[in-house]
Amino acid sequence: MFLQVMKCELILLLVFETVFAVVNVKINNFELEYSVTYENWCKSDKDRFQFIIGISIEQCVAECGARVHCRSLIYRNQINGCELYLTSETEQSNLGECVHVKKDNIKVIKKPCQGRCKHGEVCESISSKSGKCKVKECINTTAPDNGKVLGNQREVGNKIRYICNPGYELKKDGMEPVAECLYNGQWSHITECVKTNYTLATWSPWITCSVSCNSGTQTRSKKCSFRKEGNGESSCDHSDVQIEEKQSCYVQPCPTHGKACSNHTDCKETEGVCIQGKCFCHQLFAYNNTVKNCTKVCQTMTDNYTKFERKKINDFNSGPITIYGILDECKAACTEDPICLSFEIWPEKDNKVGCTTGVVTYDMMKSADPTQIRDDKNADLYSKTCS
Task: Establish if 141 belongs to a structural domain.
Answer: no
Task: Establish if 120 belongs to a structural domain.
Answer: yes
Predicted pLDDT at 383: 93
d(CA 287, CA 195): 59
75 and 155 part of one domain: no
Predicted pLDDT at 130: 74
d(CA 333, CA 358): 12
pLDDT 10s digits, 282-293: 888 888 877 777
120 and 220 part of one domain: no
Residue positions counted in the chain: 387
Has residue 344 got a pLDDT over 90?
Answer: yes
Has residue 329 got a pLDDT over 50?
Answer: yes
The one-letter amino acid code at 56 reads S
Alpha-helical runs (H) found in the chain? 8-16, 57-65, 327-336, 362-368
Task: Establish if 161 belongs to a structural domain.
Answer: yes
Has residue 226 got a pLDDT over 60?
Answer: no
Range(s) of the domain holding residue 269? 253-297
Q: Into how many domains does the chain fold?
A: 5
d(CA 285, CA 282): 5
Predicted pLDDT at 146: 84
The one-letter amino acid code at 320 reads P
Closest CA to 323 of 356, 297, 281: 356
258 and 291 part of one domain: yes
Has residue 234 got a pLDDT over 50?
Answer: no
Has residue 306 got a pLDDT over 80?
Answer: yes
Q: What's the maximum distance between 2 C-alpha atoms anywhere in the chain?
A: 109
Report the CATH number that the domain containing residue 332 is assigned in CATH: 3.50.4.10
289 and 182 part of one domain: no
26 and 40 part of one domain: yes
- Strands (DSSP E) contained in 174-264 are 178-180, 193-195, 198-200, 215-222, 224-228, 232-235, 243-250
d(CA 298, CA 25): 85
d(CA 169, CA 167): 7
d(CA 376, CA 312): 6
Closest CA to 131 of 139, 122, 140: 122
Report the CATH number that the domain containing residue 157 is assigned in CATH: 2.10.70.10
168: confidence class by pLDDT, cuts 50, 70, 90: confident
- Looking at 134, 166, 185, the residue that finishes a domain is 134
pTM over 0.85: no
16 and 62 part of one domain: yes
Q: What is the mean pLDDT of residues 49-64?
A: 85
Q: How many CA atoms are closer than 13 Å to the CA of 74, on its beta-carbon side?
A: 30
Mean residue pLDDT across the chain: 78
Closest CA to 73 of 106, 40, 97, 95: 106
Report the CATH number that the domain containing residue 204 is assigned in CATH: 2.20.100
Backbone phi, psi, residue 33, to 5°: -125, 130
336 and 267 part of one domain: no
Task: Establish if 90 belongs to a structural domain.
Answer: yes
Residues 6+ apart with CB under 8 A from 362: 306, 308, 311, 313, 342, 373, 381, 383
Has residue 256 got a pLDDT over 50?
Answer: yes
d(CA 120, CA 140): 9
332 and 244 part of one domain: no
Asked if 317 and 380 touch (Cβ cutoff 8 Å), the reply is no
Q: By CB neighbour count within 10 A (0-12 exposed, 13-18 middle, 19+ buried), where does 211 fall?
A: middle
158 and 44 part of one domain: no
Predicted pLDDT at 11: 34
Task: Establish if 142 belongs to a structural domain.
Answer: no
Task: Establish if 94 belongs to a structural domain.
Answer: yes
115 and 209 part of one domain: no
285 and 308 part of one domain: no
17: number of Cβ within 10 Å? 11
Q: In this predicted model, which residue has the larger pLDDT, 171 or 271?
A: 171
Distance of CA 236 to the CA centre of its chain: 34
287 and 311 part of one domain: no
10: confidence class by pLDDT, cuts 50, 70, 90: very low
Task: Establish if 104 belongs to a structural domain.
Answer: yes
382: confidence class by pLDDT, cuts 50, 70, 90: very high
Asked if 4 and 58 touch (Cβ cutoff 8 Å), the reply is yes
Task: Establish if 52 belongs to a structural domain.
Answer: yes
